Amino acid sequence: MSALLVPTASEAEWLAARDNGITASEIAVVMGLSPYESPFALYHRKRGDLERAGDNVEMRVGRHFESLVCEMFAEQHPEFIVGGDGRSLYAHPGRPWQMATPDRLVWERDNDRFWPAADFQNVPDAVAEAKTSATYDGWGEDGSDEIPVHYRCQALWQMDVMGVETAFIPCLFLHSRKLRVYEITMDADARADLKLLREEAELFLERHLRPGREPDVDWRPATGEALKQLHSGLEDTDVTISRTLERQYKAACAAAKKAEQRKSLAENRIRARLGDGRRALGPDGQVVATRQVYDVKEHVRKACTVNKLVPARTAKEAR
Torsion of CA 8, 131, 143, 136, to 10 degrees: -160
Q: Per DSSP, which regions of 160-296 are E strands?
A: 166-173, 178-185, 279-281, 287-296
DSSP assigned state of 191: H
Cα distance between residue 114 and residue 109, in whole Å: 10
What fold characterizes domain 4-227? Lambda Exonuclease; Chain A (3.90.320)
What integer pLDDT is reported at residue 114 of this predicted model?
44
What integer pLDDT is reported at residue 317 of this predicted model?
44
Domain boundaries, the chain: 4-227, 243-318
- Give the residue with greater pLDDT, 313 vs 108: 108
What integer pLDDT is reported at residue 8 of this predicted model?
73
Average pLDDT value for residue range 181-187: 97
pLDDT at 66 over 70: yes
| pLDDT band, very low/low/confident/very high, at 55 (cuts 50, 70, 90) | low
Q: What percent of the chain has pLDDT over 90?
A: 71
| pLDDT band, very low/low/confident/very high, at 53 (cuts 50, 70, 90) | low
- Give the residue with greater pLDDT, 226 vs 120: 226
What integer pLDDT is reported at residue 10 of this predicted model?
76
What value does the mean pLDDT of the chain take? 88
- Give the residue with greater pLDDT, 234 vs 215: 215
103 phi and psi, to 5 degrees? -60, -45
